[in-house]
Amino acid sequence: MRGSGSGALNRSRPEEDHHRGREAERNVPSIFPRPRLRGPGSHRGRGSSAWFALALLVAGCSPAGVGGSPSHRPDSGGGAPSTPPSLAACDASAADGVAVSASDAHAGAPQAPGAPPYAIDGCWLTYVAAPEAGEVSGDLKLRDLGTGEELLLAPAAEEPRRPALAGDVVAWEATENGTRVVRARWGGETRTIPGPFDHAGEPRVAGDAVVLTGWLTADEAGDTDIFLYEPGQAEAVRVASGPGQQRFPDISATYVAFADFSEDPDGRFDQDASDLADIVVYDRRTRRAAPRPRDGKQAFPMLGAGEKVAYLEWAPIHPEPKFDQFDLLIGDIDAPGSGDAVAARIEMGGAPHVLPAIRGELVEWVDRPAEGEASLRRRPVDLSAPAAEVPGLSGLDLFGPSASATITVLAARSPGGALELRGIAR
């Protein structure tokens, strides 16, 4: 489906998907509370910043009820608790052994660069299951780690990928009628996020919103902008635009951060060794954007540690492929980017490549040198102590972490074994 800007949704799907959705609707309960509707906002026009040629268009939409347009709901049902499960209801070992799909930066589909096929928040885990024999993708599922109950969020036929989870909001990429879309679930309702774009991807979530990248044309190398969607809105609204691509957003309760490629010679993220980009932070309260200029290329910003922002940097060289070697930087959001500090120099020999995770007081990442064993490493976000290796993972091939306040999960594979999750207490 292509976003029309009207908020109308096209829900045509193969008959087998509808049948599968109905089966799930009969057999599994919803475990999320009802949606929280947002009030109307104001509509403002486009502005510009001469320094980095980034135009901002901030708009609000009149609220629409969640049921105002058709929804594909393989997971809906009754019996939803009114509050999330207590953090005491699960421990890290509850995630152990969950078989997940692989994520490969070089494949392009079904997984995209930098995104693990799983996410955790509190005692909820969402993940793309290992594909059935002969299949490319797996089902997207939501598991209550306290009870072991699972919901089917999306069948494998939709090619779900890049799941993101916060509070009662889940979002993921999917393929709908041959087009890449972002689907979101809150309050037991699932819908494709519409907006003034041709197709969309790269979703991230906060407890009250989804941020995504919208492609303005069908060209994957074409112009992209950053869009924000809050439950109750008719469609996603543009919060950042400019020449070339703005991509890889992240979101918190107060900020959106993204990579701006407007300074790049071809204006896009690709396998070009001359790629250039800066991180930009958009304040959701003031609706203002502030660039963090540095030499070289910075991309994949990460919010999750209060007033700090972390990101990857390739400078002064640009290794190809992008994820084989990079620096992990971190700094205060309100301070100039020139003062950001290197938290780690990371090697990621061999695919798949996925991002570090920053949450609360810790930043964590997988280091996979060309020679030697992979390791999970963690460091305080204030850099008050050096990085330390997390024990108990020796001899395993490791893939990128996702973290809640109390649990970190990452995929691990023993020689010749399946790719399965490991849970580690934080």
At residue 269, the pLDDT reads: 86
Q: Are 348 and 325 in contact (CB under 8 A)?
A: yes
Q: Report phi then psi at 22, rounded to 5.
A: -65, -40
Which of helix, strand or coil describes residue 257? strand
Distance CA(329)–CA(336), nearest Å, equals: 13
DSSP code of residue 21: H
At residue 352, the pLDDT reads: 61
**Sheet with 255-260: strands ordered across:** 246-251, 255-260, 278-283, 288-292
At residue 80, the pLDDT reads: 35
Q: Are 191 and 71 in contact (CB under 8 A)?
A: yes
Least confident of 85-94, 139-148, 236-245, 399-408: 85-94
Give the tokens for residue 86: 């207590």
Place of tokens 């992008």: 322
Look up the CATH architecture of domain 15-36+53-425: 6 Propeller (2.120)
pLDDT band at 60 (very low <50, low <70, confident <90, very high): very low
pLDDT band at 108 (very low <50, low <70, confident <90, very high): very low
How does pLDDT run across 221-277, given as a tens digit for each residue?
999 999 999 988 999 999 999 999 999 999 999 999 999 999 998 998 886 777 889
Taking 50 as the threshold, does the pLDDT of residue 395 lie above it? Answer: yes
**Sheet with 407-413: strands ordered across:** 397-403, 407-413, 420-425
Those residues whose C-beta lies under 8 Å from the C-beta of residue 284, and which sit 6 or more positions away, are 228, 253, 254, 255, 256
Domain residue extents for the chain: 15-36+53-425
Name the residue among 345, 379, 375 with its Cα closest to residue 361.
379
Distance CA(390)–CA(424), nearest Å, equals: 9
Helix (H) or strand (E) holding 227: strand 224-229
This prediction has a pTM of 0.80
Taking 50 as the threshold, does the pLDDT of residue 193 lie above it? Answer: yes
Distance CA(31)–CA(80), nearest Å, equals: 5
Cα 272 to its chain centre, rounded Å, is 24
pLDDT band at 321 (very low <50, low <70, confident <90, very high): low
**Other C-beta atoms lying within 10 Å of the C-beta of residue 8:** 13
Mean pLDDT value across residues 365-387: 93
Place of tokens 């957003």: 249
**Sheet with 224-229: strands ordered across:** 199-206, 209-215, 224-229, 237-240
Average pLDDT, the chain: 80
Distance CA(200)–CA(180), nearest Å, equals: 6
